[in-house]
Each structure stands twice: as structure tokens, then as C-alpha cells.
Copies of this chain bind each other. A is one copy, B any other.
Amino acid sequence: MLEIAVLGAGRIGRIHAGNIAAHPGARLAGIADTDPAAASGLADALGTRVLRLDDATRADALVICSPTPTHADYIEQAAAQGRPVFCEKPIDLSAARVRPCLAAVHQAGVTLMVGFNRRFDPHFAALKARLDAGEIGRLELLTIISRDPSPPPISYVASSGGLFRDMMIHDLDMARFLLEEEPVSVSAAASCLIDPAIGAAGDVDTAVVTLRTASGRLCQISNSRRATYGYDQRIEAHGAAGMLRSGNVFPTTVQLADAQGFRSNPVLPSFLDRYAAAYRAELSAFIDAISEGVAIQPNGEDGLRALLLADAAVEAAATGRAVQPAAV
């Protein structure tokens, strides 16, 4: 039985810790957090104990859900202990910090999985499997629509790394996941349309990106920080033999028909609902990979590549030029 420690007792830490506790192949070794009250609150709720940070990196495996600036350090500590790590995205907001961290992971020979949860969403995973099965032939055009229900607090915006590195990085990873070719060119356009305070904090709230691969596959991504109708998460893959798409998820199938028309619910309002199954499947994949000693994706390189695409998008939006992403 794999004993897994969780670092970070915030919102996402709570999800992963709960999923570990419920997993038949793992046991929750404990919770560590720089805020002892947060750690003991979550530990109590799940019937586990509070761990010191140093002890956490000595569990069989570590799940890192602490604030972004701490990720790379903790990964390196776990690597030094030879422990497999699951780390919430991003590894770091700076590629310059990610690279030595990945080198340490590589040298230690430990497993590092990065938390791009959407790869494990049952809807997107089914789309990917059917793409792989050749149902639409060669992929040509990929469309990713990703819109948050509402903007994060301005305090978060300021330290988030910006929309491209904070939000769109998920879509960039999905693009890589589905395109099956590395994008060689990134162009972008972005605006602050929702809240001037976001602009004042140096960020944008509405952005689009175009990716092009070496063989010419094209991908369009659009992001908005606000969708009044819920958390909008859609993917559409257009290929030589057809089109596969994955739509939004609704809380119920109930529909009201009256003089105003036919009305369904808004879509699921939060990533916690929309991706609950994805978080479970993601952690399960981590546990399985460790238990079976097999390689896992998305790994550290996937984390870096998505960040490099986000960096390229930032530059492209600023310059109006298509940018080639930096090499790994």
C-alpha cells in the first residue's frame, strides 16, 4: 500500500488528499502545510496526521499542492530523497527555474507527474482515444474553447504569471496532447475587456492563440476569464475523415419549455465539479504508474513545454509576431 503525503492543504490539496484517502491502492501518509491550522483541519477531516515538511518528502510518494513559488524546491527535495512526485501545474512560472529542477529529477531518476488534469477528463480522454483510433483520420484543425466562470481575485492575478501561463497553459497542454506534434509557431492576441483592474495588474482577461505544427496542423485556442453560463470547456478536432468534439457538462438533463423557448441548465460552474472525475483518474494514474514502475505522462517535460508555449504566446501577443517556442 503506497503511502502518499500531501503538501498544501488548500482547495486543490483537499481534492487530492480526499482522492488518495478513497483510493484502494494508496494510503494518505499525512498533510503538511506551512499553516499548521490548515494542515490539521484537513488531516482531521480525513483521519490522517499532520506531517512536518521534511517528513512529507520521505513518504512513499509526494503530492505537491503548495503555492507555485515553492513547487520546484519541493520537487528537488523529494527527488533528493528518491521519492516520486506529483506536482500541481506549473512547476514554476519561469522556465529558467524549471530546467534545473527537471535536471535534478532526471538525475535522481524519480517519477515526476505534472497536474494537467484535463487529460484525464472522461470526455476529453474519450475524444483522444477516438482520435488515436483513427475515427477522423488525420487531424487538421483543433479548436479549444476554455472560459472561466468569473475572474480570479486581483490579488491572485498579480502573482499568477498572467493569463497565458496561469490559465491557457492547460489549453496549451491539451493542444500538445491532441496535436501529437509540437507546435513550431505561436501567435496570439489579447485584451483586457472584463475588468480594468486586471489590466492595471498587468494582465489580460480575454485571449486567443493560434498554434501551427511542422506538418501544418492548426490549432485555435480562446480564453475568457468570464462566462455567465458556467465553466465553458470544449474541444473540437477536425480531421480528414470527420470531426470529433467534446461538449460542456450539465448538472442535470432537465429542460424547461415555455413561451421563452427551451432552456437547459447553465453548465457546471466550477472546475471542481467539471473535473472531479478527472482529478480522481489523474491521481489513480499516478498511483498506478508508481505501483507498476512505468513511465507516466504528463511529466516534467510536458510541464516545461506547455510553459514554453505560454512564454511564446506572451511574446507573440506583445509583438504581433508569430513566435517559435524555445527549445526544451
Contacts and interface: CB of A to CB of B under 8 A. Distances in A.
Contacts of A243: 227-229, 232, 256-258
A165 to B, nearest CB: 19
Contacts of A251: 122, 126
Interface in A100-135: 122-123, 126-127, 130, 135
B247 A253 contact: yes
Nearest to A204: B216
A123 B253 contact: yes
Contacts of A242: 228-229, 256-259
A191 B208 contact: no
A216 B232 CA distance: 21
Contacts of A227: 238, 243, 257
Interface string A207-233: 110101001111010101011110010
Contacts of A220: 208, 220, 222
A289 interface: no
A11 interface: no
A254 B127 contact: yes
A290 interface: no
A194 interface: yes
How many identical chains are in the complex? 4
B191 A217 contact: yes
A107 B264 CA distance: 46
A270 interface: no
A168 to B, nearest CB: 13
Contact of A126 (B226, B252, B262): B252
B141 A208 contact: yes
Contact of A210 (B187, B192, B244): B187
A311 to B, nearest CB: 17
A265 interface: yes
A260 interface: yes
A265 to B, nearest CB: 5
